[in-house]
Chains A and B, each alone.
Chain A
Amino acid sequence: MYLTKEEEQILNGEAGETLRQAIGILVTLGDIYGADRLIPIKSAQIAGVSYKTIGDAGLEWISDLQGRVKVPAILNPAGMDLEDWERLRISPDFAEKQKLIVQAYEKLGIRCECTCTPYALEGFDVGYGDHLAWSESSAVSYANSVLGARTNREGGPSALSAALLGKTANYGFHLDENRVPEISIDVEYPLERSDYGALGYVAGKLAGKRVPVFHLRSTPDADELKALGAAMAASGAVALYHVEGITPEIRKRNFEDPAEKVAIEKKELDEIYESLRTARKEPELITIGCPHCTAAELETAAKLLKGKTVSKEFWIFTSRELAKRYPAYIRTIEESGAKVVCDTCMVVSPATNRFSCVMVNSGKALAYVPGMCGAEAVYGSMEACVEEAVGGTAKKEGGSH
């Protein structure tokens, strides 16, 4: 791997211990994956924030680092709402450790908002072809696929190293040749809203870590693409996908349709919605906002909940910046008894672990809640989630289609 003179000096420790370690990580990963050089990045998004996932081991490492990040850098969701952690009954011990982790990142100049949707925030705008070092799998998928930017799925230490150096190793999804579709997925019926999360849940298992190209009969909006990509990154390891006629890269580059073609049948999606009827228990907790709700999703939730009162725990996750930008939606949602929670999510917060059945409108949460929270997960549209929370007739309706 070619290094500039300045990079060689950093590797030899002339810029201090933290940067020596940081460039050591990037160069080693670059060697493992065959990178030719380091390239500048526009921003970094760093995973490894929740005390539930990284524990004392991660806290110790981050606390020992010195220095300042060179590009805008932001954190993945933490294990709790950093301003109001008591509301979801987080233990004081957990809260103390979680605060120490966030403070340790803050000391390095990282913006301590914790979100899986950095692209929705001021200062994290992403353009076509920009190189990034992002960690969170759904944000990686959104940046690569919906925005046409270029990032590998970085681990916590490698994203942090990239932020400290302002560079990453040039391999994987930074290169044209690795962004070509490898499996063609045909969906012969129209889809709407939560159907995309269900489709992603099924498609991720088929695609594994390959790049799929979708041929759809309907036109997904940005939030529907967010749900599709998040689910595929969780049930599989998809970091980039294309949608014929929709996503930017396939509109600019002439990809050949891959030889391997599959079709996903409507009944495969229906089975996902069936989970609500076939669950062993009724949902005790309803959650939406995985990935974090956008402005449009908060608006929809507010409209659905307006004038209603929930009879079950109902948590809606979003980024703190959007919660502050749209106080009217938040007020309407919370007047129903539902809780708007920032900085965290149902998957990485220990708050979810005390429930035995959780309803979600996210294919990603459906994939992760059982393993990460020890709870059964059931699936429904946002409308069905609201009906379940207010004690309506969601069970008879099933899904939105």
Chain B
Amino acid sequence: MGLQRRKVVPIKLKGRIISRGCAKGEVLLSRDPISFLGSVDPKTGVVIEENHILKGKSIQGKVLVFPHGKGSTVGSYVMYQLKKNGTAPIAIINLETEPIVAVGAIISEIPLVDKLERDPYEVLNNGDLVLVNGNKGYIELIKPETGKTENRYD
């Protein structure tokens, strides 16, 4: 990779294109997989699943980072409903997307890139400003959340 230890932005990571489009927003990290059916209220975009790491948090307008989807195939349609209600994430980054989330992102026109060349959980923090480019297949860290930049690249 050859990244040097310096607090220089922007940082750009290549990944695989799942859903096209390009969007910029604040990062919201989830280490837990997400089932859109039953885990997220489509009216508010708030995570409602008991014991989920994001319980009570809103995914609306965020660059949502999670490992992969889980649960019912109806989840794809729920992502579409979130989008129509204006409560969807603005972009998604996955470790490895499975078909439910892939199909949901495509029909909802939410840019989605997965399989980044570095682990997004090591590079990104909650609140970072990130661009997800689903047309060219990369993400770009534009502005780190202030106060959390120490050892960012370790």
Contact = CB atoms under 8 A, between A and B. Distances in A.
Contacts of A47: 73
B103 interface: yes
The contact size tier of chain A is 20 to 34
A25 B78 CA distance: 16
A138 to B, nearest CB: 16
B77 A57 contact: yes
Contacts of B30: none
A170 to B, nearest CB: 16
Contacts of B84: 60
Contact of A29 (B42, B80, B103, B107): B103
Chain B at the A interface: SS class: helix
Given A24-B19, A48-B77, A57 B99 contact: no
A28 B77 contact: no
B74 A57 contact: yes
Q: Secondary structure of the A side of the interface?
A: helix
A40 interface: no
B107 A155 contact: no
Contacts of B98: 32
Interface string B51-87: 0000000000000000000000110111011001000
A25 B107 contact: yes
A56 B98 CA distance: 23
Interface string A315-326: 000000000000
B106 A25 contact: yes
Nearest to A17: B109
A21 B76 CA distance: 14
B107 A55 contact: no
A53 interface: yes
A56 B103 CA distance: 17
A53 B103 contact: no
A60 B77 CA distance: 8
A158 B16 CA distance: 20
Interface of B: 16, 18-20, 42, 73-74, 76-78, 80-81, 84, 97-100, 102-103, 106-107
Closest 10 CB pairs of A and B: A57-B77, A57-B81, A58-B77, A155-B73, A61-B80, A157-B103, A57-B78, A24-B106, A28-B102, A25-B106
27 contacts: A28-B18, A28-B19, A28-B102, A29-B99, A29-B102, A29-B103, A47-B73, A48-B73, A48-B74, A48-B77, A54-B74, A54-B77, A55-B77, A57-B42, A57-B74, A57-B78, A57-B81, A60-B81, A60-B84, A61-B77, A61-B80, A61-B107, A155-B99, A155-B103, A156-B76, A156-B77, A157-B107
